[in-house]
């Protein structure tokens, strides 16, 4: 059956609903072919005003999709990016962890057991060292961590005198001042090399530092085969520790040999230097033990000009450093005491 439908109806154009009804009525009568006369078709039918509906626009699905895709790389670039990443070392965000960079895998027997832990930018070295030496520290909340850091800092300041005396020869050769270390511990968020050295000596550790900008490594204190080594990643003065999933966060000195095959040192040093100077170090240690009491007494005394002292003042200083006050059963004069004190200091 063939049916011709003229869209113009009663001198007016059919609207879409009327057209639909007419076609439906025709099919109900058994028709199957329609010839539509479009000579006088409504111009609005010919306007291409179709707009595709974007089901992702302004929808929860779109927001979720954007979130999942944020920071992702297109598949075609994935292989190329992976090659670049294998040569890079990244820090991670605070309280997050990332796997050991491929570049450093050879440092560890089981790289999958190690990770980098993100520390706060404030007191990052405190956080790093405590995460290494205190296995429970990582489990504490932020407030409890701050209390731990305060306790830790107080211990370092309290023991500074003893540790400085113990390492006096080394610290003097490096021009470390005790007052500088103390000031840095109490009033700074960023540590000087002398302070980091002292903290490591306090814990009897050696620190391997890997710099993410220069890709050089360095040591935080004197190299020693007798001490355990720990590892930190550094960018500027921001530190993050390398930790073990089982809490085994320390290494032996051979980690320095391994890192030397991967990166260059920031400063040249000889890992055999310790063996060459072992006898000298033993001698210095014995000499220190013999003189430690005397050094403790002398340490804080700064001798002023003679005219600033009374006799009693010089006598008090002399007592502190074990100088006799009498000579041939007579009290020594100011000049005599001053010269002896000056010579002993």
Tell me the chain's radius of gyration from C-alpha atoms.
40
Separation between Cα atoms, residue 118 and residue 132, nearest integer Å: 13
Lowest-confidence pick of 85-94, 150-159, 283-292, 311-320: 283-292
The pLDDT confidence band at residue 308, using thresholds 50, 70 and 90, is confident
Q: What is the pLDDT of residues 237-279, one digit of tens each?
A: 999 999 999 999 999 999 999 999 999 999 876 666 544 454 4
Beta strands 216-219 and 205-211 are antiparallel
In terms of pLDDT, which residue wins out, 181 or 5?
A: 181
Mean pLDDT, residues 303-325: 81
Exposure of 336 in the CB half-sphere (CA atoms within 13 A):
11
Which of 47, 229, 38, 226 is closest to 133 using CA atoms?
229
Helix (H) or strand (E) holding 159, with range, is none
The pLDDT confidence band at residue 78, using thresholds 50, 70 and 90, is very low
Lowest-confidence pick of 7-21, 85-99, 112-126, 225-239: 7-21
In terms of pLDDT, which residue wins out, 276 or 163?
A: 163
Res 140 pLDDT > 80 = yes
Q: What is the pLDDT of residues 197-224, one digit of tens each?
A: 999 999 999 999 999 999 999 999 999 9
Q: What is the pLDDT of residue 29?
A: 66
CB 253 within 8 A of CB 271: yes
Separation between Cα atoms, residue 265 and residue 217, nearest integer Å: 5
CATH of domain 87-276: 3.90.70.80
pTM of the model: 0.57
Q: What is the pLDDT of residue 279?
A: 45
Separation between Cα atoms, residue 332 and residue 26, nearest integer Å: 136
Nearest 5°: phi and psi at 99? -65, 160
Q: What is the pLDDT of residue 108?
A: 96
Q: What is the pLDDT of residue 328?
A: 78
Which of 114, 112, 115, 140 is closest to 127 using CA atoms?
140
List Cα–Cα distances, 273 to 19, 200, 285, 331, 332, in angstroms.
Answer: 99, 20, 17, 51, 49
How confident is the prediction for the chain on average, in pLDDT? 78
């Amino acid at each position: 059956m063939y049916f011709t439908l003229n869209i113009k109806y009663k001198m007016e154009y059919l609207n879409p609903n009327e057209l639909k009804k007419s076609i439906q009525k025709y099919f109900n009568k058994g028709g199957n072919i329609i010839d539509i006369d479009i000579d006088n078709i409504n111009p609005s039918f010919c306007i291409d005003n179709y707009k595709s509906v974007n089901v992702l626009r302004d929808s929860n699905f779109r927001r979720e999709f954007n979130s999942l895709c944020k920071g992702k790389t297109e598949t075609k670039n994935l292989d190329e990016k992976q090659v670049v990443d294998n040569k890079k070392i990244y820090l991670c965000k605070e309280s997050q962890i990332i796997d050991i960079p491929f570049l450093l895998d050879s440092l560890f027997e089981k790289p999958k057991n190690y990770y980098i832990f993100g520390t706060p930018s404030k007191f990052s070295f405190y956080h790093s060292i405590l995460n290494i030496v205190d296995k429970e520290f990582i489990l504490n909340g932020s407030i409890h961590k701050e209390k731990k850091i305060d306790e830790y800092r107080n211990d370092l300041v309290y023991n500074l005198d003893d540790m400085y005396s113990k390492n006096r020869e080394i610290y003097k050769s490096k021009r470390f001042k005790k007052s500088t270390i103390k000031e840095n511990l109490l009033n700074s968020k960023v540590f000087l090399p002398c302070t980091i050295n002292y903290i490591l000596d306090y814990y009897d550790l050696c620190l391997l530092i890997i710099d993410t900008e220069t890709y050089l490594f360095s040591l935080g204190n004197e190299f020693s085969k007798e001490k355990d080594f720990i590892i930190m990643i550094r960018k500027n003065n921001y530190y993050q520790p390398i930790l073990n999933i089982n809490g085994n966060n320390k290494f032996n000195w051979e980690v320095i040999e391994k890192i030397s095959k991967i990166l260059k040192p920031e400063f040249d040093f000889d890992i055999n230097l310790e063996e060459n100077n072992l006898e000298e170090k033993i001698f210095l240690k014995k000499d220190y033990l013999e003189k430690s009491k005397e050094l403790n007494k002398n340490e804080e005394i700064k001798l002023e000009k003679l005219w600033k002292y009374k006799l009693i003042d010089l006598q008090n200083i002399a007592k502190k450093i074990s100088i006799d006050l009498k000579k041939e059963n007579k009290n020594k004069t100011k000049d005599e005491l001053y010269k002896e004190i000056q010579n002993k200091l």
